[in-house]
Amino acid sequence: MRPAILLPAFVLPAFVLIGAALLAVPARAQESETPPLVHQHWSFDGVFGTFDNAAAQRGLQVYQQVCSACHSMKQMYYRNLAGIGLNEDQIKAFAAAILVPGPADESGQPTQRPALPSDHFKSPFPNDEAARAANGGALPPDQSVLEKAREGGPDYIYALLNGYSDPPAGMKMQQGMNYNRYFPGNQIAMPQPLHGNDVTYVDGTPSSLEQEAHDVTTFLAFAANPELNERHATGVKAVLFLVFLTGITYALKRKIWADVH
């Protein structure tokens, strides 16, 4: 019988080792000239984490007032904003302030209409060619799932937004490129989008660069994982149920075996 008990004792450390090895691989694969990412505190971290709605709503404001000038978010609908706590009227008002292409008028001329909750987020450019042309040849990536698409996720986006500075002495910059210590290769086509005080938050929070970067990253994480809150709430319920089930099973076992001595 002993080997059966010993086996798990070996299996667990083996899993830990394999897990550690898997985690170590991306770290090594990263470009050597970018400093290691500093892990930030995110409300949505961990198995039971959830989005901080206030932060995500501030982040929406940053996206809308700054990032949406260049980045699309094609997979988002205005109605999805219910996921960060906006009610129906707030969503309607938010969408209505944005003009999207409407049907042609009687003379065939294009028109504009206020957006509806059922509309996709408005894209800043009609197509990728126009987006590149306006950005010195570089395409601002769609931000719908960007948070999931980049190594380091939210920590990377946060670091990137804070990572601009003058290039180190002697570094030759290509035309139109900006120095960023967290971007692979350190030369990025995106000019520094946030400097602090780029928005006046409706909730009165002071809009430092760090605050804006943290908030917009939270919003981008929500966009990439809109079902996270629900999934984690289900997880909590499942765990509570399992605890309950274990209790019942144990009580039952005691009762059934009560007379066996």
Of the pair 153, 226, the CB lying nearest ligand HEC is at: 153
Cβ-based burial of 228 (10 A; exposed 0-12, middle 13-18, buried ≥19):
middle
The minimum distance between CB 147 and ligand HEC, in angstroms, equals: 8
Give the contacts of 18 (CB within 8 A, at least 6 positions apart). Answer: none
Q: Which residues of 211-225 are buried (b: 16+ CB within 10 A; e: fewer)?
A: bbbbbbbbbbbbbbb
Interaction mask 142-181, ligand HEC, x per CB under 6 A: ----x---x------x--xx--------------------
* Contact (Cβ atoms closer than 8 angstroms) between residue 118 and residue 79: yes
Site mask for ligand HEC (CB under 6 A), range 109-148, x = bound: --------------------------x--x-xx----x--
70 belongs to the binding site for ligand HEC (CB under 6 A):
yes
When asked if residue 190 is in the footprint of ligand HEC (CB under 6 A), the reply is yes
Residue (of 63, 87, 83) closest to 225 by Cα position: 83
Q: Least distance to ligand HEC from the beta carbon of 44, Å?
A: 17
**Torsion sign across C-alpha atoms 21, 182, 198, 193:** negative
Does residue 67 interact with ligand HEC by CB under 6 A? yes
User: Would you count residue 194 as binding ligand HEC (CB under 6 A)?
Assistant: yes
Q: What does the binding site for ligand HEC look like in residue numbers (CB under 6 A)?
A: 62, 66-67, 69-71, 135, 138, 140-141, 146, 150, 157, 160-161, 188-191, 193-194, 216
